[in-house]
Structures are given as C-alpha cells and as structure tokens.
C-alpha cells in the first residue's frame, strides 16, 4: 500500500510531487508528506541544499493547503501518501522520514519485518527515532552506512541488504543534490523518463502528465536517477540493461471525465471495457478463441488435470465464476482458493496442475505470495491481470490481460466484469479442446459480443436503482442471495455495499438461507435476490423469496426482463436483459454496483476512497 514518488528535473519539485500524490491517493490516504531539497533562497529560513520536509495527517488536500510556497526551479524531491500499517495515521508517522542529521529523506511503501531488531541496534548506536513506523529504520540504516563509506548508492544498497520484507523506496540526499535513488522489492516501482527530467513512482499515473516512457523495476533493483540519466543496478551491484516501455493509455483515461466519482465513471465504462477485453480474441465462425498470451504453454495448459483459481476480494469472486465456467465447458476440475490461505496451508500440487491468479492491480501481496508458492512447486502459472507491467503480470508464465483500463475507484467494478469475460474466453478456449462443439462455442462468443449493448441498457435505467437506494440508504444490514453462476455475484454485491457505504452485508447461496441466515430476517432486513428466469434453480429461488416475505423481510429482486411473475412476489424488481446463464454475472452485477454506489452517495460516504481501505493491498 501507500503511493510514493520522486522527481528530479527543471520543474518546481513540490508541485510535481503534489500532482503525482493526488493521482495516487487511491493507494492510501491517511497521511501524506513531501521532502524537497532547497535551492538558493527557495524558502525563507532554509539553507541552500537543506532538506525541507512537510507532512500532515489526513488527505493530500491538507498537505497541499498547508505547504508553504517554495521557489524551486531545478527541483528535486520525494513524496508519500500513506495507508497505515505500523503506527496510527498521524503527522509523526507520516513519511518522508529524515534520520538524525537531516542528511537524507525517505518515502517507503511496504513492510520491514525485522524492523524491531534493526531499531534496537540503531538505538544502541545512538540513533533517535521519531515515529512508530517500521519504515524509519531504513533511513537510519542508510545514514549509518553513509557515515562510514560516504557513498550514497552503496549506503542505500547495504542498508537494503539488511532488510527482510517488502519495499518500494525513494531516497533524497542533501550531499547529492542532483540524484534520487529508488529501489524495489515486492512493492511496485516504475521509473518515468522525461526530457531533462525523470520520475519514479508506485504508479505511472503519478507522472503520466509528463511522460509515457517507462522502465518498470524488478525486485532487487536499485535505480540511480538524475535529470538526464537513469542507471539501474542490482543489490549485488551489477548493471541492469532493460528496454524502455511505453504506457498504452493517456491522461484522459485516468481522469473523472465529468463524473462525480471514479466509481460511477468506471461502472459506466463497462460496455467499452468488455469490448476491450474481447477485442481481437473471438474467432466467431470457428466458435473458438485466440489468446496470444497463452501460446507458449498452450499444450501444458490444455492438458491440465486440475486448475486452481486464486485471488483476493473481488478478484476471488470472479475466480468463483471462473470455476463454474471452466468446469461446465472444459470439464477440468477447478478449485478456488483465497490467495492468502493457499500460500500458507502447504497446498499439495501435482505436475499437471495449473494455477490461475486473478488480480486487477497485479500487485496484491497475497496473490503474489500464492504465485511464488506455485512456482516453488514448479507449477505452471497463468495470470489474469489488468495492469500491464505489474508484478503479477511479470511473475506469471503466461497471461491474459483484461484491458479494462486504469481502475481508480477503490471498489472494483469494471475489472470484475472484464475478469469474468476473460474467464469466459478461457473456458471456451479450453472447452474447444474437449467436448465443447463449434456451435456451442459460437453461441457463447455471440453472447459475449452482445453484452456491451445489454450493459448499456441496464445503465440507461440507473435512475430506478437510484430511487431504490434512497429508500434503503438508512438500513444497517443487507442480505444478498444468488445461486449457481450468481452466487459469486451475491458475494460481490455484498462486498461492494460493505466497502463503500459501511453497511453490514452478507452474501450467501440462496439455498443456504434456511440453514441459518433466515434467523436474521424481519421487517428491517432488505434481501437482494438474483433470480433469473432461465436459471434451473429459479423455482427454488422463488420459494426462498416467499420464505423471506413470510417473515416480513423486504425483497429486492434482480430479474430477467419480461418476468412478470417475480414482480408479484418482490417488493422491488430491477430488470436486466436476458443472456446465457453462464454470462449472466456480467449483467446481474451491474445493478448491484449501482445500488451500492447510490446508497454510499446518499449516506455521504467517500465513495472513491472509503475509510480503512486502499486500492492495492501490497502487504500480506
């Protein structure tokens, strides 16, 4: 978690850093800070080449409003926006930290697991700490090595070799007014190369306004960055040569584009993002699919004896839909595991197993750890990711990018539907090797191609969902029920509501209601049913609705257009167009995304940056 940035170039560093931090605020927003090197008379009371640090608890806005004007052309500096792990969110625990002599400043993203031991040793050597964070030990260690070798790069390198854990860091040095050093291990770090200026950041969004030329760093690498040169070395001090890459999107895709919130923009983008996931991959006449990213390991994948799908949160929900899809069409046994559990339970993996890791960000630490475990056991790993160049995209043997574009709202929306679309393509791809006929394949693919128009028609009716939200915004509990392909959608609907409106919500398979949750139902309990007409369990779901009504619960049904029967039973019905059962999650989830969005807005919640959360969870 956390977003970090470094800048060196001709511009005023503090404004570049603040812009970058604002772009990365989704990564953490409980405190923020910047450190800049003062040039001649840039700030009253500051000596030339002294490090000026300014930090605040709370959102970046607070930092921005309190930051004094710094005249800093030829700027150099670093910045940080925090999601607290060690130490409460406060000014004292905010980054950057500067060690004992204000010779250096550091911003860190990650967790240093052996910080207690290091801190104790450093305190014995006379170092004085100001915060409760694990991060602060890094700067004292650098300071300590620098005192003996007076070599900026080697001081950083040696300090990093003492650390256990994860880090993305960026370091500023008083004695090296033209250089910043960045390093990466387990947390994202990308170098952005501009003209006579360079950047480092946790996310390209931070510097996309200035350059699309990037150099994503690998674990164990250190970048020495000045305005006109970038050199990358390893922790062992050997030089790394890597090709420049180009970011495939521009600034407009990471702006709100007239919407009040990123989440609403991203919900509304789904007709296009589904198209982007499918583009160039459908061979309609052949009833088959082309997935270029899988070609190298095509045989091994198609011969898989078992597939394990893994991920966290929304990605895990998409994985559950994947289980239904792959088992139904490819007839390969599938298991779905929380990445965090898979990693630690010593899973038994066989030679022909394949792990499929799903992640929007490609940076989720639990999912990265699950991949490492699979690789340790020599298992083929496929990634389904959104962010090109992310840690997971690079750590997997092969992959399918979902191409949903940057997702900034903390609550995942478009990445879920694109993940399910990608899994549908994969199910056809694997299925066609088995018993799925050309005709059946074609039917699913045509169904996928028809989805964008159907999503558009659901979005056109958003007003109905908004009205519903106004009725239910003050409720404290919700139940979400669905079966088969729509059981994961019930989980996802409940997660969306929880995370952005802080309403307690639970998702269950509808049939499980009678085994416990039914005890919760009374007149104050809204129950959201996903009850689609052509689902084989539809009559059973209707009985479940009756059971809720008999106990005075309020029923909101997501139903198939034209289903009049359900409107006689439910209190409210939101209709969605008919589609194939296997593709229905891509449609049924949309009213649930809208419902949680409008309820959160009604309740005055911070939709894009809900409390306690961050977009990518880069700590285990």
Residues annotated catalytic, as ranges: 2, 615
Candidates 185, 310, 367, 609; binder of ligand AGP (CB under 6 A) is 367
Residue 533 makes CB contacts below 8 A (sequence gap 6+) with: 559, 560, 562, 563, 578
Half-sphere exposure of residue 112: CA atoms within 13 angstroms, side-chain side: 25
Q: How far is the CB of 370 from ligand AGP (least distance, A)?
A: 11
Q: Check residue 462 for interaction with ligand AGP (CB under 6 A).
A: no
DSSP 350-397: -TTEEEEEEESSS--HHHHHHHHHHHHTT-EEEEEESSTT-HHHHHSS
Nearer to ligand AGP, 76 or 370 (CB): 370
Binding piece for ligand AGP, criterion CB under 6 A, among 62-70, 229-237, 282-290, 361-369: 361-369
Q: For 451, list phi and psi in degrees, rounded to 5.
A: -60, -45
Q: Check residue 617 for interaction with ligand AGP (CB under 6 A).
A: yes
Residue 176 β-bridge partners:
none
Q: How far is the CB of 100 from ligand AGP (least distance, A)?
A: 37
Q: How far is the CB of 369 from ligand AGP (least distance, A)?
A: 12
Is the Cβ–Cβ distance between 526 and 476 less than 8 Å? no
Binding piece for ligand AGP, criterion CB under 6 A, among 53-61, 296-304, 355-363, 375-383: 355-363
Q: Check residue 273 for interaction with ligand AGP (CB under 6 A).
A: no
Positions in 251-270 near ligand AGP (CB under 6 A):
none
Both structure tokens of 376: 């340790």
Q: Check residue 133 for interaction with ligand AGP (CB under 6 A).
A: no
Nearer to ligand AGP, 14 or 596 (CB): 596
Q: CA of 524: how far to CAs of 229, 465, 472, 589, in Å?
A: 63, 19, 10, 23
Q: How far is the CB of 371 from ligand AGP (least distance, A)?
A: 11
Residue 509 β-bridge partners:
482
Terminal Cα-to-Cα distance of the chain (whole angstroms) = 10
Q: Check residue 277 for interaction with ligand AGP (CB under 6 A).
A: no
Candidates 499, 535, 586, 590; binder of ligand AGP (CB under 6 A) is 499
Number of residues near ligand AGP (by CB under 6 A): 16
Separation between Cα atoms, residue 383 and residue 305, nearest integer Å: 18
Candidates 122, 332, 410, 555; binder of ligand AGP (CB under 6 A) is 410
- Residue written as tokens 């919760």? 520
DSSP 296-337: GGHHHHHT-SEEEEEESHHHHHHHHHHHHHHHHHH---EEEE
- Residue written as tokens 């007839």? 331
Positions in 279-338 near ligand AGP (CB under 6 A):
311-315
Q: How far is the CB of 5 from ligand AGP (least distance, A)?
A: 20
Candidates 391, 424, 616, 618; binder of ligand AGP (CB under 6 A) is 616
Nearer to ligand AGP, 57 or 358 (CB): 358
Residues binding ligand AGP (CB under 6 A): 311-315, 359-361, 364, 367, 410-412, 499, 616-617
């Amino acid at each position: 978690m956390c977003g970090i940035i470094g800048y060196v170039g001709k511009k005023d560093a503090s404004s570049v850093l603040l812009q970058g931090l604002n772009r990365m605020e989704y990564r953490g927003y409980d405190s923020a800070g910047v450190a800049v090197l003062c040039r001649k008379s840039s700030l009253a009371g500051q000596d030339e080449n002294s490090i000026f640090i300014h930090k605040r608890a709370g959102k970046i806005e607070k930092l921005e409003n309190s930051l004094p004007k710094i005249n800093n052309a030829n700027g150099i500096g670093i910045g940080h926006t925090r999601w607290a792990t060690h130490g409460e969110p406060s000014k004292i625990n905010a980054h950057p930290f500067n060690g004992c002599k204000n010779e250096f400043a550091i911003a860190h993203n990650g967790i240093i697991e052996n910080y207690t031991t290091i801190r104790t040793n450093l305190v014995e050597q006379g170092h004085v700490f100001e915060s409760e964070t694990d991060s602060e030990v890094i700067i004292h260690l650098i300071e300590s090595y620098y005192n003996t070798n007076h070599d900026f790069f080697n001081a950083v390198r040696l300090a990093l070799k003492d650390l256990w854990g994860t880090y993305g860091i960026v370091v500023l040095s008083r004695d090296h007014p033209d250089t910043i050093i960045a390093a990466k291990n387990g947390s994202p770090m990308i170098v952005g190369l501009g003209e006579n200026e360079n950047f480092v950041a946790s996310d390209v969004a931070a510097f996309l306004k200035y350059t699309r030329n990037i150099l994503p760093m690998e674990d164990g690498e250190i970048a020495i960055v000045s305005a006109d040169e970038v050199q990358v070395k390893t922790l062992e001090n050997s030089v790394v040569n890597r090709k420049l890459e180009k970011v495939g999107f521009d600034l407009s895709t990471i702006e709100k584009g007239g919407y009040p919130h990123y989440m609403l923009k991203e919900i509304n983008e789904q007709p296009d993002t589904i198209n982007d996931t499918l583009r160039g991959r459908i061979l309609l006449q052949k009833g088959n699919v082309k997935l270029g990213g899988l070609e190298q390991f095509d045989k091994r994948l198609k011969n898989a004896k078992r597939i394990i799908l893994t991920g966290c949160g929304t990605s895990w929900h998409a994985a559950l839909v994947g289980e239904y899809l792959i088992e139904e069409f490819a007839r390969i046994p599938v298991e779905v595991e929380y990445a965090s559990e898979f990693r630690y339970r010593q899973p038994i993996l066989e030679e022909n197993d394949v792990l499929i890791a799903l992640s929007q960000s490609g940076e989720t630490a639990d999912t990265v750890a699950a991949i490492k475990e699979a690789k340790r056991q020599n298992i083929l790993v496929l990634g389904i990711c959104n962010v090109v160049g992310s840690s997971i995209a690079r750590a997997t043997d092969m992959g399918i990018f979902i191409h949903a574009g940057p997702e900034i709202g903390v609550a995942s929306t478009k990445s879920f539907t694109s993940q399910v679309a990608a899994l549908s393509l994969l199910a056809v791809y694997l299925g066609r090797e088995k018993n799925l006929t050309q005709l059946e394949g074609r039917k699913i693919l045509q169904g996928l191609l028809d989805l964008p128009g159907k999503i558009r028609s659901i979005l056109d009716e958003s007003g109905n969902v908004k009205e519903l939200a106004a009725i239910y915004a003050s409720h404290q509990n919700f139940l979400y029920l669905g079966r088969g392909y729509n059981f994961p959608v019930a989980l996802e609907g409940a997660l969306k509501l929880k995370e952005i409106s802080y309403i307690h919500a639970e998702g269950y398979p509808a049939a499980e209601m009678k085994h416990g949750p039914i005890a919760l139902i009374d007149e104050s309990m809204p129950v959201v049913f996903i009850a689609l007409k052509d689902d084989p369990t539809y009559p059973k779901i209707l009985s479940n609705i009756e059971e809720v009504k008999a106990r005075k619960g309020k029923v909101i049904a997501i139903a198939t257009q034209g289903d009049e029967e359900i409107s006689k039973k439910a209190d409210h019905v939101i209709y969605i167009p008919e589609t194939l059962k296997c593709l229905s999650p891509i449609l049924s989830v949309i009213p649930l995304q809208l419902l949680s969005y409008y309820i959160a807005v009604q309740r005055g919640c911070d939709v894009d940056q809900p409390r306690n959360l961050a977009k990518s969870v880069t700590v285990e």
